[in-house]
Every structure is written in structure tokens, then in C-alpha cells.
Structure 1
């Protein structure tokens, strides 16, 4: 790696080497800091890929490969890799799949880089995580060397290629992960399904923006594909597969994941409108300005139409999809969400989905300590407060039986 590339990317995180604790001590070490362990795995994986990129071309390594590595390691909350870890642990996975689970977690963070970088291009979003988005960063880098339109075009094209690179690296990590033949087949089937679902959900989003399609059913379908499956259900299913969970336990985790995953997307819709930029890392109202067909806007429109509220309908018609929306006009949209009851409706639906999702877990055989950590993680993903109950004792597995509803029923409610 050249000095310039090394300066752009400084791997960080705790690496897992043979000198580190093994067995149950190693499991507990990861339990204490899952994001740190995944960052360590990413540092190991990405260092090799950056060396390979440098050998291909130094400019490519500096401008694209190093940015993909930095974006991925800096990360957000590492929620998907945490879900795959705690899904594995809750299903009784042990040290034999520790390294494989961290590799799959690292691959999930790489595919998340692909999704976010491409999403910023599609939304023409200038900021991500409180910093310039990747396409904006590259455009700024070359602003003094070419015209503004050419620099912007380079930024957008580079971000598309950066997302492609992140996806390729993610696929490589999954393909090179050593597992039993049966587990390999199950993991790869889940990975293939997740990739297609993620793209399908994004397409429903951009199609809805272009056509102003804002039905309630379509909004839930998009939320299911782009968030429920990709962000929660599939990571949990991957963790269950790595642990060799029973079909009953896997179904319970998937049903829980789908319910909470939809709640996760509905919470994200609310945060886009009402969130603090210091917490979200981006300006408020991005979904409104792009005209994204969220469930929140679909509820507001449906309620305004039912009530014959011409003022609310006029505000929605005149603001959704307006890139130049002012702060005052965004405030008017917020007022419509409040007056029509759309915000309260979405909040209530989030609570119902989370409660239903956690009930699904009651039908699974889960290690209590890890199961409680998983429940807390699911609540956190949906932005709901934890119950005031003490953590259960670790290590023992206790059966709890409640009737299970199907995954599809969880998605419809």
C-alpha cells in the first residue's frame, strides 16, 4: 500500500489473533464489544483488499478502495452485524463459529456500505453521518481540477463504482468463509435472497418517488423489503444458520425480525422528519424533499382524503418531492402529520409491531442471557424503551412456548 493510501485509511478495531483468548473466553470478549470485534475483522479483511487494490492501480486504491474501507469501518451502529452475532449466540452457537460469524458480520457491513453509498447517489444527498457523502466528497476533491458539472458527474459515477466494489468485497467474504457444507448452502441461499430483496426495496422507493405512488400497502411492502428483511430478518436468519438452530427457532427469529424490521423502517421515517441532525447525521426532511413514498406520508394522505381535509392535501401536494423545500414549509408538513394523526398512528403501529415481534421470540429455545441481549437490541433498533426487568442468568436454555403466528401475518399487521 502506498503512503498516500495508508494515510487515507487507517484500520482500527480489535483483531482476533491466536494470541487472544480462545473458547468461552473469546466468546465473552466479543459479547462485551461486538462492534469492536467486527471492526477488527474488517481491518484484517480490508487490509488485504487495499493491498490488492494498490497493485491494480494506485489512483483507484486511493480514490475508491480506501474510501470504501474507511466508510465501512467508521460505520454507524453496526446493527446488522450485532444482530447476526446475537442471533447466533441466542441460538446456542459456540466458539466453533465465532470467526465465521464475525466474517458474515463484516460482510453485512460491506453490503450496507453499498446500499448507503448508492442511496445517497439516488437521493443526491450531500451529507451522511455528519460528513460529506462519498459522491460529494469526491466531487469536492476534484472541484479545482475540472468544471463543477464534470466534478459532480465524477462524484456520482465514482460512488456507483464504490458501491459496486463494496458489494463485490462482501460477496468475496461470504464465499471465502469456511463452514460445513450444509451451513454453507443455507448461508449462501440467505445471502442471495437478501441481496435481491434489498435492490427490490430500493426500486420500489425510487419508482414511488417518480410516480407519486403512496398507497399504504405499497409503503409497507417497500419497508418490508428494504428494511425488515435486509436490516433485521436476514441477519437474524444468518445467525441462526451459523448456530445450527432448529427450524422452529429459525422461524421464530425470522417472524420477530420481520415485525421489528418494519418497525425499524417506520421509526426511520419518523426520524427523517422529526429527528435531531446531531443524532441522525443528516438534515431533516430528506424523504419529504425527495418525495419518498413512506408509510408516514401515505397515512397522512389517506386520512386527509377520508376527512376531506383540503388544506392538508394541498400542503402534501405542494411540498412532497420539492428539493427546494424551506424550513417553514417543512414545519407545515409536520403540522399536517400531527393534525391528521399520522404521526400518532405510526408510533402506535411501531409499538404493536415490536410487541408482536418479541412475542414470536417466546416460542423459541434461546439461551436466556443472549436472548435478552437480542430482545434489547431489537427494541433499540425500533427506538422503543426497554422494559424495567433484570437480565436473566446466562448460559442455561429454557423452553418457553406460546403459539406462533406466521411470518406473513407478522408482516401484514
Structure 2
């Protein structure tokens, strides 16, 4: 018997925000849930073209708000009335698969090779893919050039290593009174993400290629020790802040540096003198790294139209359609398609978000992802507040998350 207690959170009453025309009596329905406020720009045309090429099938789309869309798709599947295709965080794929709710998503070697390095890893385990990436984000370092200048630092030279990051942040705090670095430590997912920034910029891993937990490694210990060290040059009370709550502090020049995604480029105040650079590298780094986070289209089991749902997902995310989606949504491109070079030439601030991909790493996939995330956040918080030593808590957390894989 399947255990759905970890997947179901109570079915919410959700309204149909947008939908395609109802199918005729002769058509088979391929139902689809997309997260957001409205159907993604371009999707109406993409779907109409797919329907034209697949006579006898009609796509019915439902747009559900970000806070409920994944929950709704999961609950419908758990209740035995699955949606055919749904937008899901890739972190959920292993859990959905282990509960028999989704089907493998076949990819040819050519399809896999079309993506930037490690992207396919975000949807892969046990030698199979369980979704197709549809949205992608990476992280980079934002810095306030005026605060650098006020502290006597070169405003055009951001830190390239962890040592430089700490030293520059300390100089800024000592000479200007402004915290040098924005540190996340709230009970929130991006506290774990912040730690993974340190892990992936120091050649670390949480899960290796064979599926083994390798959290308790020298690289990851250095990452956790550095997290603790940065408390001295960060804003007061990091446990009160998650990533997006640091952006206003950066905008108000109340913190000199933050690590954030590409969307923040469009949220920085017009009068702020800022730059964006690669995440600083740790002592064991083999090259610039970053955290690779994807959302995916997952095909649910039991609808009778799984083959068509896979076809639709591949069509929506083919190189041309996917790049259009990325440009209109301000997302990091999933593939090095020709338009990327033009995009970077027009806006060089995109470059750091792409250059860190080669040595980046994914959100690890766990059967009980929420428990894994909670353990990682607890680990970071214990180090930030000084209740546990990095080596001890890293070892105990590595043992704890074994039961969640």
C-alpha cells in the first residue's frame, strides 16, 4: 500500500484561473496544471500547434497560484484522479516516484546533451529522468560599489575567493559600520540553499553519483565553518532573514553584498551603484560554482495519456519554445542556444549566472525532501547561533539524512 502521508497536505479549494476550450466528445483530454497567475506567455500558441499535430487530443490547462499548484497536483494523484502533466519543483520528483505517482520521462542522449552541464542531474536518479526541466535559476554575488569605495576598496573588483569575501566584508563593516554580507539563516529553504552555495563553490557534494550520502566531507566541513565565520561580518540576527528579505537591505545600502538569483537584477533601485559577479570560490574549488535549481514538468501515472503528456512536455520545452519562455520570464537559460550569446551581449549582467554552471550542483533529491531540508536548516542554524560545533553537527546531520534518501 502506498503511504501518502508525506505527500498529502489536505486538498485546497482552488479556482480555475485559466483553461483551454473544452474538448469535444471525440477528443481525449491531456490535462495540465501550471503554476502562476496566468498561462505562460506563448503557451497558448505552443499548445494549439501541438494539438494540430496530435489530432484526437485536446489540452485542458488550469493555472493555479504558486502556493497551491504543486499541492493540488499531488493531492489529485494521491486520490486516484491524477492530472496528466503538472509543473513541479524538481526536488519533489524522487518522492513522487517512490510513491508511484509519476512515470519516467525518457530522454535521448542527444536531448540530455543539449542542456548545460548538470541540468539533467536535477531530475535524475536510479539511472532515469523523472521530469523535464522547465525553469532554471542560478546564483551570483551582488555588490554595492559605493560602499566598496567608501571603505577604501576598489569598487570595480568584487571578491573572487572566500578569503577575499570575508576580508572585504570585514573592511566594509569596520570602516563604514554597514554589514559587509547578507547571511540567510531563517527557518526557510534558502538557508539550506545558502549552505549549498558554499558546498558547490568548494567542490563539495551532498549525494554522489552512486546515490551515497557524502555530506560529511572535508569540503563540506570547510563550507560550514565558513558559514559560521561570515556571521561576524553579516547583518545582526541572521536567523531572522531569508534570502528575499535581504534584497531590501541591499537596496537600502544596509548590507554591502548578497547572493541572489538573476531576477534581483530587475529589483535593484535605480539609484544604487551595483555590480554582479560569480560566487566567490573556496579553497578546494576546481572552478566557479553555483546552486542549480530547476522546476520541471512531471507526467503523472494513471491517466491513459502518459505518452501524449510526455510529447506535450517535450514540445513546450524544446530549445526554441523553452528559450522564448525563459526570455519572457527572466530565467537562466537551460541550454546554450544561439540566442544566449546575444542575450549576454545585450546585458552583460547575465554572464555570472551562466559561468558558474559548469562546476555547479543540484538540489539533492530525497524521498522525504522536507525532512532532509529541515535537517539541513537546523544544522546551519545551530552553527550560526553557536550551539553546536561544525564538525559535530555535520557528522550527525549526515547520519540523520540517510533515513530520508
Q: Decide which structure has greater helix share.
A: 1
TM-score (norm 1): 0.30
Larger RCO (CA within 8 A; separation ≥ 6):
2
TM-score (norm 2): 0.31
